[in-house]
Amino acid sequence: MAIHYDTPLDRTFHALGDGTRRQLLAILASEGTRTAGELSSRFDAAQPTLSKHLKVLEAAGLISRRVEGRTHHIDLETAQLSDAQDWIYRHKEMWNAMLDNLETYLEQTASQEDKK
């Protein structure tokens, strides 16, 4: 059964969930535009496998592709990464607040137990 990700954020997190795709993004982030062939040569995987990873990254909006003849030039796109970072930050802040509230509650409960 195929899973379909409907929102851009779902597609982003799905794409980031694979180590090979994260490595591809890291290469593009550190080295800039690369051809699909240059990227494929960095991995011990068949070309169709890397092509599939690139398609997932492209569908998530994490890369863009420019075709010149038979050469595919791949660029990193950061907008979706920023959206994912914002989502993570909001949830991190929420959890930090909840954990702070829990800590306060536990301290108050311990203090009340000590008074008994």
Residues 54-107 pLDDT 10s: 999 999 999 999 999 999 999 999 988 888 888 889 888 888 888 888 988 888
**Residues above pLDDT 70, as percent of the chain:** 97
Determine the average pLDDT of the residues in 14-40. 95
Please state, in angstroms and rounded to a whole number, the distance separating the CA atoms of residues 3 and 7: 12
Statement: residue 17 has pLDDT above 60 = yes
Planar angle of CA 28, 64, 59, nearest 5 degrees:
110
Q: What is the pLDDT of residue 27?
A: 97
Rounded to an integer, the average pLDDT of 8-17 is: 92
**Domains (range + CATH), the chain:** 8-78 (1.10.10.10)
